[in-house]
């Protein structure tokens, strides 16, 4: 069974495959869950009352680790310039 571990503050602390027989009444070890972390969480924290992982990172932290938007390529810039020129001509100005 694949489980995800969390520390004493419920922060993600790794994962592993363990052998456990729930049919015979064996329980999960402490500080672990089978709930998967949703995509897009930067600093997952487990909420044991709801049984789900939630985001614990601040918006400032998320913004600081997100890569900047890629700059347009030369072809994209030229295409936009041509489109702008066509628009000017169509509107009667140049």
| Residue 21 predicted with pLDDT over 90 | no
CB 35 within 8 A of CB 51: yes
* pLDDT attached to residue 30: 92
Q: What is the DSSP code (8-state) at residue 94?
A: -
pTM: 0.66
Query: What is the predicted pLDDT for the residue at 24?
Result: 86
Place of tokens 């628009």: 87
Per-residue pLDDT of 43-63, as tens digits, reads: 999 999 999 999 999 999 999
Give the integer Cα–Cα distance in Å for 76 and 20: 55
**Rounded to an integer, what distance in angstroms lies between the CA atom of residue 56 and that of residue 47?**
10
Q: What is the pLDDT of residue 81?
A: 95
pLDDT of 70-84, one tens digit each? 999 999 999 999 999
pLDDT given for residue 94 in this prediction: 60
pLDDT of residue 14 exceeding 70, the answer is yes
Domain ranges of the chain: 2-67
Instruction: Compute the mean pLDDT over every residue in the chain, rounded to the nearest whole number.
Output: 93
Q: Is 64 exposed, middle or buried (0-12, 13-18, 19+ CB in 10 A)?
A: exposed
């Amino acid at each position: 069974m694949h489980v995800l571990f969390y520390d004493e503050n419920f922060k993600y602390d790794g994962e592993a495959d363990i052998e456990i027989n729930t049919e015979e009444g064996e329980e999960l070890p402490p500080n672990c869950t089978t709930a998967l972390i949703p995509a897009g969480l930067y600093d997952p924290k487990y909420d044991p009352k709801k049984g789900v992982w939630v985001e614990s990172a601040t918006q400032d932290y998320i913004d600081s680790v997100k890569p900047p938007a890629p700059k347009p390529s030369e072809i994209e810039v030229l295409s936009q310039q041509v489109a702008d020129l066509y628009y000017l001509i169509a509107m009667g100005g140049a």
